[in-house]
Amino acid sequence: VTGGRKLSLTLPQPPTTQGYYRDIAVYAYPTPVGSDATTTTTKPLITSSIPGENLSLLATVGNRKNFKTSEPGWIQYAFARPFTCRSIRIRSSGYNYQANRLLVEASDDGRTFRPVARLHPPRSGWQDSSAVTHALPATTARFFRFAYDPAGSEPGAEDLDAAKWKQSLKVSEIQLSGAARIHQFEGKNGDVWRVSERTTTAQLPAAQCVPLSKIINLTDKLDASGRLTWAAPPGRWTILRMGHTSTGQVNTTGGGGRGLECDKFNPTAITLQFDKWFGEAGRQGGPELAARVLKVFHVDSWECGSQNWSANFAAEFQQRRGYDLLPYLPVLSGVPLQSADQSERVLFDVRQTIAELINDKFYATLRDLAHAKGCTFSAESVAPTMVSDGLLHYQNVDVPMG
């Protein structure tokens, strides 16, 4: 938005699942030069050396139709005027290793191309179908190419379940943006289990990071209807509304007990789920039968995705990490603050807090509930699906399983 005036506008509500949404905070910060340029606002001409369908949809946000090929070649974006790219967002309908290892090249004339970067896929768990945002050194060009060649990638050469590894390319979105973003932030913020390289200063110089001193907290200026009223200082401002919603994750093997997964950071919700499953089995069988039959409470392999927020998360973070997360909250959306290093450190603390809460709230609560019923507690590993420490929770388990 343009400042230097009093603003009164309704902010779009962030994506909402299961009809549940709660605001966390609203921020404004000076819009970095060029950051609002994308392949949505500046539409390129898309061509390819590879025959295939759905090519024109690659720059369409939300497209789910994959462009597929097993033959080496390239996809080209041609802009009418020079475009400065600082980040690339890749999405496939279903995770695709090859889509995240494309060679990015740039050209000013469409004939002579120079290498920009080879994309490196994150280490990925098996419940990963989210987009991947790659940070790039700022590159200005009229032509960008994404070269695909499966040579050099073989089964076992990357950290993927062999069943997920595909030599062919499948990609539904290649979105270029002038906005600087934290490298592969979607895994670093706990939204999905991934292991990624740290963002480098070459990818993200300090000059492209938003200083903390420039961020304005506007939470108290948003009313219950979502209308923001703010006397904005002069200049261009980016407004960021952040909230939390349900993951929408449904247990996959619940049979007649199928339903939404509980909040893994909330002992009250965990107790409710335990009671409605294990407790209900005891009630239906009766106390005498339950005492003879229900001897072990078991948590099987983790098949319910990841979670990175709860109503108590900010308070738990401050208690465990010793500082307030809210001034840094925009890093969870990929916005770099202060420096690449500072942004990475905060996101590490977020993941560490998630791991501790999984142990201290989820597994410790289930242990106590199982023991209260005279049962042994057994559990399999958490990773690589939930952002967590794959071993830490075993301290609360009587019988650890692999």
Domains annotated on the chain, with CATH: 33-179 (2.60.120.260), 255-400 (no CATH)
Q: Is the model's pLDDT at 384 over the cut of 90?
A: no
Q: What percent of the chain is predicted at pLDDT more than 70?
A: 96
Question: Which carries the bigger pLDDT value, residue 104 or residue 385?
Answer: 104
Alpha carbon distance 325, 308 (integer Å): 13
User: 163: pLDDT confidence band, cut at 50, 70 and 90?
Assistant: very low
- The pLDDT value recorded for residue 254 is 63
Q: Is the model's pLDDT at 396 over the cut of 70?
A: yes
Average pLDDT, the chain: 93
Question: Which carries the bigger pLDDT value, residue 313 or residue 386?
Answer: 313
- What are the residues whose beta carbons fall under 8 Å from the beta carbon of 8, sequence distance 6 or more? 227, 228, 229
CA angle 260, 301, 350 (to 5 degrees): 70
Q: Is the model's pLDDT at 27 over the cut of 50?
A: yes
| Residues 182, 152 contacting (CB under 8 angstroms) | no
Q: Is the model's pLDDT at 33 over the cut of 60?
A: yes
pLDDT digits (tens, 9 = 90+) for 92-150: 987 788 999 999 999 999 999 999 999 999 988 778 888 999 999 999 999 999 999 98
Q: Is the model's pLDDT at 269 over the cut of 80?
A: yes
User: 158: pLDDT confidence band, cut at 50, 70 and 90?
Assistant: very low
pLDDT digits (tens, 9 = 90+) for 115-130: 999 999 998 877 888 8
Q: Is the model's pLDDT at 361 over the cut of 80?
A: yes
CA angle 269, 274, 277 (to 5 degrees): 125
User: 230: pLDDT confidence band, cut at 50, 70 and 90?
Assistant: very high
Name the nearest CA neighbour of 11 among 326, 221, 236, 311.
Answer: 221
Q: Is the model's pLDDT at 45 over the cut of 90?
A: yes
pLDDT digits (tens, 9 = 90+) for 57-89: 999 999 999 999 989 999 999 999 999 999 999
What is the H or E stretch that residue 21 is in? strand 21-30
Reading the block at residue 267, the tokens are 């002992």
Reading the block at residue 153, the tokens are 């990638």
- The pLDDT value recorded for residue 157 is 45
Alpha carbon distance 44, 120 (integer Å): 24
Average pLDDT (10-14) is: 97
Q: Is the model's pLDDT at 302 over the cut of 90?
A: no
Alpha carbon distance 83, 284 (integer Å): 65
Average pLDDT (290-304) is: 91
Q: Where are the alpha helices (DSSP H) in 137-286?
A: 185-188, 267-274, 280-285
pLDDT digits (tens, 9 = 90+) for 167-211: 789 999 999 999 999 999 999 999 999 999 999 999 999 999 999
| Residues 328, 346 contacting (CB under 8 angstroms) | yes
